[in-house]
Structure 1
Amino acid sequence: MNNNDTQKKLRNIIEGTIIEGETDNCTAIRNLLCASFSTSTTVKRDFDSKSIIKKEQAEFLIQYSVENNLWVVNLPKENKFLAKGGEARIYFNSHGKSVIKLNDAIYYATWLEYFNSLVIHNLLFPNTSYTFIGFTGMENSLCAIVEQLFVTSDALVDLSDVRALLRYNGFENTRRNDYYNKELGLILEDIHDENVIVNSNTLFFIDTVFYTAFQDK
């Protein structure tokens, strides 16, 4: 999962540094927010104090998406609806091989932190990487639209296998389904058996929530 190049990029994310040489849209939006707003580490107790920043970022992203043809009005049809999670509505794509997720970033204190999480996921779990499509509005909230490979399960997930894989890559289980990488200062949350799928003896992480924060020990 990790190599020297990946670790360098992860440190750039954590330190709020622009990631050079990447052309994917998730990184492009992340870099745009990094260049336009101050960066900081994330802890959940900062949610209320950062609400103004998140609102400013949302207004910025709406204007940017309208000016750069990233505002999406043709949303997936309801007959393609698959599920609704805590932060996303999920639809099948027209060909059924991927899913479209409309995410309101409710789990994140700012939109920068949401895109940080996407980029971190793409670095660590490229077999289920996210592709950013654009933005839309839903129920008076800004939503990011991302696409991800649709993976079917052919076996039950053994969470001990998940823990072993994450431990190998520096993530220690802190409580229940939450993990922490002390070296990098990365929190990974909610890794339960619905967010990891097994297919052909391979683990696919389909929903991850990363926070870039050094915890007090």
Structure 2
Amino acid sequence: MLLYNLIFPKTAYTFFGFTGYENRSIMPIIRQSLIKDSTSATNIEIETYMAAIGFMKARADGCFENPQSLVWDIVPRNVLKDKDGNIYIIYVEIKRK
């Protein structure tokens, strides 16, 4: 969560609380701000945005990297665009290199 928030601060996760399942597990509840009047971003918009924040397209679709991190699953279903054209990454997978 911390790495995500550093890379994508406009859609940072905040901790909301905990939930559990039949007293056998504890799971954190996290949330993000609502992006009103949004649509899915196109692949070209995603690539342009990721380049602007220092990531280059990697070997697979939806995969980007910079010298420190590898980020994947950046596809239209996980990226929103608001009515002003601002891009918001709402869900991705991230790992440090």
TM-score range, shorter chain: 0.7 to 0.9
Q: CA separation in 1, counterparts of 2:21 and 2:79? A: 27
Deviation string, structure 1 residues 93-134 (Cα, Å, up to 9, x no partner): xxxxxxxxxxxxxxxxxxxxxxxxx11221222221111123
**Secondary structure of residue in 1 paired with 2:2:** helix
Change (3 A) 1:136 1:180: same
Question: Identity of paired residues, percent?
Answer: 26
Q: Which runs of 5+ in 2 are unaligned?
A: none
Deviation digits for residues 20-46 of structure 1 (CA, Å, limit 9, x no counterpart) = xxxxxxxxxxxxxxxxxxxxxxxxxxx
State the Cα RMSD in Å. 1.9
In the alignment, which residue of structure 1 is the partner of 2:96?
Answer: 212
Q: Which runs of 5+ in 1 are unaligned?
A: 1-117
Q: Give the TM-score, by structure 1 length.
A: 0.39
What is the letter of the counterpart of residue 20 of structure 2?
Answer: G
Q: Deviations over 1:169-197 (max 9, x none)?
A: 2212121111121x22x110101111110
Q: Which residue of 2 aligns with 1:149?
A: 33
Q: Which has the higher contact order (CA 8 A, sep 6+)?
A: 2
User: Partner of 2:30: helix, strand, or coil?
Assistant: strand
**Higher fraction of helix:** 1
CA deviation profile, 1:49-102 (whole Å, cap 9, x unmatched): xxxxxxxxxxxxxxxxxxxxxxxxxxxxxxxxxxxxxxxxxxxxxxxxxxxxxx
> What is aligned with 1:177?
62
Q: Which has the higher strand share?
A: 2
Does residue 160 in structure 1 map to residue 20 in structure 2? no
User: Which structure has the larger Rg?
Assistant: 1
Please report how far the alpha carbon of residue 154 of structure 1 lies from its aligned counterpart in structure 2 after TM superposition: 3.8
Moved over 6 A (4+): none
2:9 maps to a residue whose letter is P
Distance 1:155 1:206 in 2: 12
For this pair of structures, how many residues does the alignment match? Answer: 94
Shift of 1:153: 4.2
